[in-house]
Structure 1
Amino acid sequence: MQADQLKDIVIKALEDLKAKDISVLDVRDRTSVTDFMVIASATSSRHVRSLADNVVIEAKANGVRSSHVEGGAASDWILVDLGDVVVHVMMQATREFYDLERFWRDAPHLGAAGSD
């Protein structure tokens, strides 16, 4: 599966469960670790977990065999590593504190979604 296809699956999985402020960063020219970083906010720790779980479920349903998840059930930040796409699901306060978008500010932003 192409990285662009996986990115689209991740975005849809996040949108399906009402993730907030989805941001997509194209980091292909900045790191060899991954192609895209997707950052999304959640409204509660339970929402963080549900969003991360849905990303893993949808990725597996579309043939992505391996994923690595960091962060616990009551966490305010869960990272889902799908290889070509790394997903950060965070509580808004955690997102503001770590400000990953600023850290990767020179990476092209492919727009935001799920901002409802």
Structure 2
Amino acid sequence: MQAEEVLKIVQDVLDDKKGKFITTIDVRGKTSFTDYMVLVTGTSDRHLKALCDYVAEKLAESDVKPLGIEGDLGSDWVLLDLGDVIVHAMTAQSREFYQLEKLWSVDRSMEAGRAV
């Protein structure tokens, strides 16, 4: 399955299961380990885990298996590694603290604080 197809399923499931503030970051050309990062805010640790479980279950129907999952009940951040797509399910507090959108939106033309 192509990365864009996986991404579409991920986005649809997260939306259907009431994930909040779903953001997709295209990191092609910025990193070699994935193409897309999807950030979603959940309302509780159970919601975070459930969001990732639902995504994994839906993709299993198409024989796409996660490479790994990190975080569990009691975690404020659950990461679902699908290879070309990585899902970061976070509480609002963790998302605000880590600011992954800001981290990955750094312009590639900037190096050590100066334009190249």
TM-score (norm. length: structure 1): 0.88
What's the % identity of the aligned pairs?
A: 45
Indicate the residue corresponding to 1:6 in structure 2.
6
TM-aligned CA deviation for residue 66 of structure 1: 3.6
Is contact 1:78–1:89 with CA below 8 Å preserved after alignment? yes
Let me know the Cα RMSD of the aligned residues.
1.1
Secondary structure of the equivalent of 1:38? strand
Report which of the two structures shows the higher radius of gyration computed on alpha carbons: 2
Is contact 2:66–2:80 with CA below 8 Å preserved after alignment? no
Distance in 1 (CA, whole Å) between partners of 2:29 and 2:101 is 16
TM-aligned CA deviation for residue 105 of structure 1: 1.0
Instruction: Verify: 1:79 aligned to 2:79, yes or no.
Output: yes
Number of corresponding residues:
107
Indicate the residue corresponding to 1:39 in structure 2.
39
Q: Partner letter of residue 7 of structure 2?
A: K
Is contact 2:38–2:87 with CA below 8 Å preserved after alignment? yes
Indicate the residue corresponding to 1:94 in structure 2.
94
Runs of 5+ consecutive residues of structure 2 not aligned to the other structure: 108-116
Which fold has the larger relative contact order, with Cα–Cα distance below 8 Å and residues 6 or more apart in sequence? Answer: 1
TM-aligned CA deviation for residue 65 of structure 1: 2.7
Runs of 5+ consecutive residues of structure 1 not aligned to the other structure: 108-116
Q: Which of structure 1's runs of 4+ aligned residues deviate more than 6 A?
A: none
Indicate the residue corresponding to 1:61 in structure 2.
61
TM-score (norm. length: structure 2): 0.88
